[in-house]
Amino acid sequence: MPETASPRRILHCDMDAFYAAVHMRDDPSLHGRPVVVGGDPAGRGVVAAASYEARAFGIHSAMPAARAVRLCPEAVLLRPDFRRYVAESEKILAIFRDYSPVVQPMSLDEAYVDVTGRLGDFASATAIAVDIRRRVREELRLTVSVGVAPNKLVAKIASDHHKPDGLTVVPPHRVMSFLAPLPVRRLHGIGPASERALQAMGITTVADLRGLSVDQLLARFGSWGRTLFQYARGIDDRPVRTDHVRKSLGTERTFPRDLADLHAIDDLLGEMAAEVAGGLEHRRLAAGTITVKVRYPDFATHTRSMSLPVPTAAAAVIASCAHELVRRTDAAVRTVRLLGVSASGLIPCDHEQLALFEPEAAVPTDN
């Protein structure tokens, strides 16, 4: 990757097992135990998060909760508490914003921070990352892994490089060598299906991927092939965007294994709806439109939206809309690699107004 006179300094901050860590911090009896946050294992609940102790048994997000219990009978199962996670997330973001106003939250537990030209009293972006990790540990009694790099692509990969509680710094001159030996699945956007397609072409590492021409990648992956060509070389010009003017609020999850069970999808949509609702309420917003996003293994992506006669911040309403919308896709007959739920048409509301938007007050109408 060519060096520039003034390379960007981007941090990707990713909380470690965030949902589980919050519960473990607040309940000392959970310390060191395999904690699983998710739905009811007696039904069709799925895992939303797992502590590192639970991950050692092979438990991961989106796994059926019943299977998690089979893998680790001594696991402590907890239901998600998104109000608590949202409150903690705001404290975390407040710390990040002490170092730069250019903060882009990607979910409740991760964010990009652009410190280019904003080092202040710190000698380097690395020094800022060290101080962020110290403050999160001391002030919130949680841990965060941080990647430091000249762009978002590499910073995100770096933050996952030495989890949990890790710090990985990739200066511009090391980007190519850092990426080269990594499996191609570590690049943003490459999931199981595209990994299999690349393996069929003899491509397993980022270095291998660099051996394909842009024309070969375009022929196999369409327009996304050009992005793959750039990512293999550590090129990513995407800016870190702030969310001061919020037009929508949402969450999405890419699954380690494609989902084929509509009931499990419903459970996940319910959890995601609760997360979106928590974000709306915390920001004193209500949504007039709910959208579901579904991506299949071949990367075909469909969205379905629904307008509401009364704006809402109620999790039950958002979940009801999401359940109806997903049935207007092929999720019942095709496996799913990504799900998303988002709220748009946002209006400001105070807490008294939000209290009026109860589930029975909002009847979905098709958009």
As annotated, the active-site residues are 110
Q: Distance between CA atoms of 65 and 261, rounded to whole angstroms? A: 13
Q: Distance between CA atoms of 220 and 207, rounded to whole angstroms? A: 18
Q: Which long-range contacts (CB under 8 A, 24 or more apart) does 73-76 make?
A: 74/33, 74/34, 75/34, 75/35, 75/36, 76/30, 76/33, 76/34, 76/35, 76/36
Residue 164: cis peptide before it, omega within 30 degrees of 0: yes
Q: Which of 294, 278, 352 is nearest to 326 (CA)?
A: 294
Answer yes or no: are the C-beta atoms of 313 and 280 closer than 8 Å: yes
Q: Return the structure tokens found at 122.
A: 């710190």
Q: At what angle do helices 214-221 and 224-231 cross, to 10 degrees?
A: 140
Q: Which of 312, 301, 364 is nearest to 343 (CA)?
A: 312
